[in-house]
Amino acid sequence: MLEELLYPQTLAVIGASKTPGKVGYAILENLLKGGYSGKIIPVNPTTDELMGLRCYKDPRDAHETIDHAVIVVPNKAVKAAIESSVAAGARAVTVITAGFKETGPEGLALEKEIAAYCRNRKVRLLGPNCLGLINTENGMNASFAAQMPKPGSIAIMSQSGALCTAILDWAEGRGVGLSKLISIGNKADICETDLLQCLAEDAQTKVIVAYLESIQSGAEFIRIAESVCAQKPVVILKAGVTAAGGKAASSHTGSLAGADIAYGAAFKRSGIVRAEDFESLFDYALAFANQPLPKGDRIVVITNAGGPGIMAADAVELEGMKMESLTPSVAEAIKTKLPPAASVANPVDVLGDAEPGRYAMALEAVLGDDRADGVVVILTPQAMSDPDATAREIIRWCASGSPKPVLACFMGGSQVSSARAILLEGGIPDYPSPERAVRALKAMVEYVRWKNRPSRVVTRFPVNRHRVERILARQVRSGRKEMGEVEAKEILKAYDFYVPPGGLARTAEEAIMIAERVGYPVVMKIVSPDILHKSDVGGVKLNLGKPQEVQDAFDLMMLRISRACPDAYLRGVFIEKMCKPGREVILGMHRDPQFGPMLMFGLGGIFVEVMKDVSFYLAPITKNEALQMLQNTRSYALLRGARGQAAVDMDAIAGALQRISQLVTDFPQIEEMDINPFIVGEVGTPPVVADARMIISGVE
């Protein structure tokens, strides 16, 4: 995949320049300096030779099959450069040149034109408006960043070219090796999803790191990311998280789900490790690239200083992992080899005068203990400390020890700097604070949890699809996107939801007739396409127990609403058998522009409106994921039966979420929907759709 892009035999630089300071000069120079193993063909109409290479007016003049062309000519000349490169055989082009989409409509048009050209000819296009790319395996630095990283196992893609330069400089400073570095620019063709797929297959890459500001195609991204994450960890920093989602949404689900929540849900689904800030991006990457994955979340801390040990223990608990004691026999074995003042509880305090041997002894024992899933080794430079030798001991024991992650935290400055370099060189990631080491372990634990998740089996329920098709078609013909209670309930009924028996009544007599049929007590609700919030206008009347009450309620409702909303078209009232009281919850769906249908669950009323206590998941959803949605709300204890109330039927709620998942996957024209309230009783009682509404696309 993307073979021509990353491993070209022949690489042309269109717009190579002889003027130092020019990007076209820098790229050619970097290719030569980096030791690129393929053939380089500089193209520049004004000269015959560049940096000792034969230079051509046109790529075709070289009479070689070009695999990949890097283009640095002015934006207006890019199209022609691509054309001549493709004519010379190029299957991949990298457009460094800026002045496209990012500059406005004219640039956008130019960008669309080159993208279409490449697409039609099955030529892959990286950029435009990017820094270029680096592959350390074949020594190809096809970028204008001067620093060539050493080979390593971290692959990086970045939507910010400038960030690439900072990353390269950081990597050099810390001695971190990279496999690939790819600046993705405007993503006219090649996007993060293509690169994920390509880097998943790259044998050099152990962990994929990405800085992204947007994602091109949400659904495909999730699909690919899910399969890539099963192979190797992907760590992403998504910037722009606070920018409002954009779309002013009319339902609960819409207003509660910002764009960032959708990204969160997508990353969670697909197993992506999310970095909260720039430093954690590489903190996590170093751990994944260098250490085995932990089996569980029990962390043991080894330290020569009490304070930092406490910091680490605090962080382990705050991150939701466990500080368990060592197996007694292991603890005893360590204790006999330490001075009496040493503690062998967790943290294992090897004391301030610990020399390398004491660290080695403790580490060996901890690595052999079944109760330790991951280890943090802390050192502060004290009189008897030998940081360098301690670092080497750690490396030695990790090489020969059991497969558990060991992260180090050598705190200080000049006295530990060479030890930190030794650690990293030896494959032990080192962090400047205990908290950062612990957070990196947490990222590994989370990834392992995702990998070990139950296999995703989405249940398909037998439903009446045709009926829904007919109702939707009717709604589209009506020209209204808001679908009221009556039709929404018909759709839900077709998907096997329990809807109380009832019917539409135009007159009081009809209302009584329906009430007699379904049985008292009944509920009466106004039916009008112009009234969205029925109870706000007195359009809901509960617990009507007799024909006379139905008669009175009908007359009063019609009188009052036609006074309050003189322009509203009143279709009549909906008479429905009143359902038994139970726990009211809200189920909803909002179609994220990027990632598609996002399901929502929350307890009704104030829990949603005031406490914002809701959870989201992307459809399609499994039963297990549906149950997790319930567990992820703070009010979950209420469902389980806190405060003396009976537990509600959680499987019934999970089933309802799965049915909604199926419905909105089957019918993309359902833009939004709410079941509010969905009334759930104890286990065994069928839950009831008390009210529902939908927004349909394809109508104005």
By CB under 8 A, the residues from 255 to 284 that bind a second copy are: 276-279
Question: How far, in Å, CA of 685 to CA of 698, rounded?
Answer: 37
In the complex, minimum distance from the CB of residue 413 to a second copy, in angstroms, rounded to a whole number: 2
CA distance 98 to 509: 73
Size of the site for a second copy (CB under 8 A): 78
Calpha distance 289→156 (Å, rounded): 12
Applying CB under 8 A, the span of 74-82, 616-624, 631-639, 672-680 interacting with a second copy comes to: 631-639
Nearer to a second copy, 52 or 413 (CB): 413
Q: How far apart are the first and last CA of the chain?
A: 43
**One character per residue 340-359, x = contact with a second copy (rule: CB under 8 A):** -x----------x-------
**Which residues 591-620 are close enough to bind a second copy by CB under 8 A?**
605-606, 609-613
Stretch that binds a second copy, among 381-389, 467-475, 614-622, 687-695 (CB under 8 A): 381-389
Q: Are 416 and 381 in contact (CB under 8 A)?
A: yes
CB of 9 or CB of 635, closer to a second copy: 635
Among the listed residues 266, 208, 265, 211, the one whose alpha carbon sits nearest the alpha carbon of residue 234? 208
Name the minimum Å distance from CB 451 to a second copy. 28
Which of the residues 324 through 343 are near a second copy (CB under 8 A)?
Answer: 341
Q: Does 246 engage in binding with a second copy (CB under 8 A)?
A: no
Q: Please report how close the Cβ of residue 239 comes to a second copy at its closest, in angstroms.
A: 4
Smallest distance, a second copy to C-beta of residue 690, A: 17
Residues 208-237 touching a second copy, rule: CB under 8 A, are 211, 213, 237
Sort 468 into a burial class: Cβ within 10 Å, 0-12 / 13-18 / 19+.
buried
- The amino acid present at 61, given as its one-letter code, is D
Using CB under 8 A, which of the segments 54-62, 108-116, 411-419, 507-515 binds a second copy? 411-419
**Interface map 662-681 toward a second copy (x if CB under 8 A):** --------------------
Nearer to a second copy, 410 or 450 (CB): 410
- Least distance CB 152 / a second copy (angstroms): 15
Q: How many residues does the chain have?
A: 700
Q: How far is the CB of 151 from a second copy (least distance, A)?
A: 17
CB of 63 to a second copy, least distance (A): 33
Burial letters for 268-299: b for 16+ Cβ neighbours within 10 Å, e otherwise?
A: bbbbbbbbeeeebbbbbbbbbbbbebbbbbbb
Residue nearer to a second copy on the CB measure, 342 or 699: 342
Which of residues 383, 452, 457, 462 is near a second copy by CB under 8 A? Answer: 383
The DSSP code for 454 is P
* CB of 191 or CB of 515, closer to a second copy: 191
Pairing between strand 688-689 and 670-680? antiparallel
The answer to the question of residue 75 lying near a second copy (CB under 8 A) is no
Per CB under 8 A, the list member of 47, 49, 634, 647 interacting with a second copy is: 634
CA distance 179 to 664: 41
Q: What is the DSSP string of 485-510?
A: HHHHHHHHHHTT-----EEEESSHHH
Q: Kindly tell me which of 275 and 694 has the beta carbon lying closer to a second copy.
A: 275
Q: Is 390 within 8 Å of 396 (Cβ atoms)?
A: no
Q: How many CB atoms lie within 10 A of CB 548?
A: 10
Residue 438 beta carbon to a second copy: minimum distance, rounded to whole angstroms? 10
Which of 1, 637, 647, 683 is close enough to bind a second copy by CB under 8 A? 637
Q: Does 638 bind a second copy (CB under 8 A)?
A: yes
- The answer for residues whose C-beta is within 8 angstroms of residue 203's C-beta and 6 or more apart is none
Candidates 9, 327, 415, 665: give the one binding a second copy (CB under 8 A): 415
Please tell me the distance from the alpha carbon of residue 326 to that of residue 346, in angstroms, as a whole number. Answer: 7
Site string for a second copy, 131-160 (x = CB under 8 A): -------------x-xx----------xxx
Both tokens assigned to 437: 């080491």
Of the ranges 57-65, 293-301, 408-416, 668-676, which one interacts with a second copy (CB under 8 A)? Answer: 408-416
Q: Which residue of 434, 484, 582, 602 would you call a contact of a second copy, by CB under 8 A?
A: 434
User: Whose Cβ is closer to a second copy: residue 276's or residue 332's?
Assistant: 276
State the binding string over 16-35 for a second copy (x if CB under 8 A, else -). -----x-x--x---------
Q: Where are the beta strands (DSSP E) in 239-283?
A: 273-274
Q: Nearest distance from residue 145's CB to a second copy, in Å?
A: 8
Residue 418: CB minimum distance to a second copy, A: 12
Tokens representing 570 are 């009143």
Sign of CA dihedral 99, 101, 106, 111: positive
Name all contacts of 468-473 with Cβ < 8 Å and 24+ positions apart.
Answer: 468/494, 468/495, 468/663, 468/666, 468/667, 472/667, 472/669, 472/670, 472/696
Residues of span 154-193 touching a second copy by CB under 8 A:
158-163, 165-166, 168-174
Report d(CA 296, CA 299) in Å as an integer. 9
Dist. CA 370–CA 374, nearest whole Å: 10
Q: How far apart are CA 657 and CA 626, in angstroms?
A: 6
Q: Which residue's structure tokens are 């909260």?
A: 276
Report 292-321 residues binding a second copy (CB under 8 A). 304-308, 310-311, 313-315, 317-318
Q: List the structure tokens of 155.
A: 């692959």
CB of 576 to a second copy, least distance (A): 23
User: What string of DSSP letters covers 476-491?
Assistant: HHHT-SEE-HHHHHHH
